[in-house]
Amino acid sequence: MALDKATVAHIATLARIKLPEGEQDKMAGELSHILTWIEQLAEVDTAGVEPMTSVAAMRLPMRDDVVSDGDRQEDIIGNAPATARGFFTVPKVVE
């Protein structure tokens, strides 16, 4: 896929990148080369290949999901600079 200077200028505007007029031809060539490489990747047959999150085959350890209220309100609000009736209080920021 070949990009022209106008397309490169438009991409630079969208990306909010200041790209001098003299560098647009060079950037058009580089971006065209990258897009050609991506088109080659699209030709690879990936049927039957499962998605992976890591190159190492491992499973994350799982724990039982137990619901509890924590019962640690005093410990949590004890670190706050100001509290009221068991809640954090913060300075008013909207007038």
pLDDT tens-digit map of 39-72: 998 899 989 888 887 888 778 888 888 888 788 8
List pLDDT tens digits, range 22-39: 999 999 999 999 999 999
Which letter does DSSP use for residue 56 in this model?
S
For the question of whether the overall pTM of this predicted structure is more than 0.75, the answer is no
Number of domain units in the chain: 1
63 to 1, 82, 84, 92: CA distances (angstroms): 49, 35, 35, 41
Domain assignment present for residue 29? The answer is yes
Which letter does DSSP use for residue 22 in this model?
G
Domain assignment present for residue 37? The answer is yes
Domain assignment present for residue 23? The answer is yes
Domain assignment present for residue 85? The answer is no
By residue range, what is the domain housing residue 18? 5-42
The amino acid present at 70, given as its one-letter code, is: G
Q: Is the pLDDT of residue 95 over 80?
A: no
91 to 75, 82, 88, 94, 95: CA distances (angstroms): 22, 10, 10, 9, 11
pLDDT at 15: 95
Domain assignment present for residue 27? The answer is yes
Q: Is the pLDDT of residue 14 over 90?
A: yes
